Amino acid sequence: MSFTRTKLFIACTLAGSLALTACSNSNNDDKKQNTLTASAPATGEASNLSERNAQQRLIKTLEQHFKTAGIQAKIIDIKPTEVPNLYWVNLEGMSSVYATSDGKFLIQGDVIRLGDKKLHNVSENLQAAANKKHLANLKTEDLLVYPAQGKTKHVVYVFTDASCPYCHKLHEHIPEITAKGIEVRYIAWPRGEQFMPAMESVWCSADRRAAFDQAIAGAQLPAATCKNPVRDQYQLGLNMGVNGTPAIYNTEGVYLGGYLSPEELEQRLNN
């Protein structure tokens, strides 16, 4: 993807529209830092303060660059990665990106560490920690829940859309999944504005499960007539970097994958 297209992608994504996706103060800080480093032997505290100052400078630099480029991007969080001079940047409404410490370059995609038997995504733990907080704030009554049969061994959160073929395929396996002791909590994530009414109708139904069964089979449901969390859940997905459905997460905020068979899902949860 070219840099121009990247900028357009970010700008469009952050415009707040529902785009169709595939189913798949510095002086005071300086004074505080000088005081701390001059009088306190706790060099770890000084180092932490210095890092926080570096992050604040990077945020200001990126915000200025975004403004210059006409990108309406809101930075939620910035954290250093294990890669020297590379920071993980959590942006509202899109997938996280990386930024160099001078704020001159953004990198989209994954940064992988080599050397072990398995490849390691350097931002996985950072993104998962942010996702875990988001998921923990959800209210069960705002979700579509399929309890585990017998003892609950695992809980998964699944961003879903009734119009998505792979969501349909996953949904067909719900009895097998729950039989393995896995509770499934669906989060509404319509893949485009045109799919919003159907998901709102499901969430407004007295029996969400029955309504979802009908909607995912292609039935036309009555128009929604209640206040519902569908748009908020869609925004949650954007904040977590969801760009397609199904998107499956465990309770620790780790992304497990898109469509997974019951056996694959169980294996990933156990690992």
Catalytic sites, residue numbers: 161, 164, 167, 191
Asked if residue 43 lies in contact with residue 50, where contact means CB atoms within 8 angstroms, the answer is no
SS3 159: strand
Asked if residue 101 lies in contact with residue 85, where contact means CB atoms within 8 angstroms, the answer is yes
Q: For residue 182, what are its two tokens?
A: 């896995």
Helix residue ranges per DSSP H, the chain: 3-13, 26-39, 43-69, 124-136, 165-172, 174-179, 196-204, 208-216, 230-240, 262-270
Neighbours of 156 (CB within 10 A): 20
Q: What share of the chain is helix, strand, coil (3-state, %, to 5)?
A: 45, 15, 40
Asked if residue 224 lies in contact with residue 200, where contact means CB atoms within 8 angstroms, the answer is yes
- In 205-243, which positions are buried (b, 16+ CB within 10 angstroms) versus exposed (e)? beebeebbebbbeeeebeebeeebbbeebbbbbbbbbbb
Distance CA 249, CA 136 (A): 12
SS3 231: helix
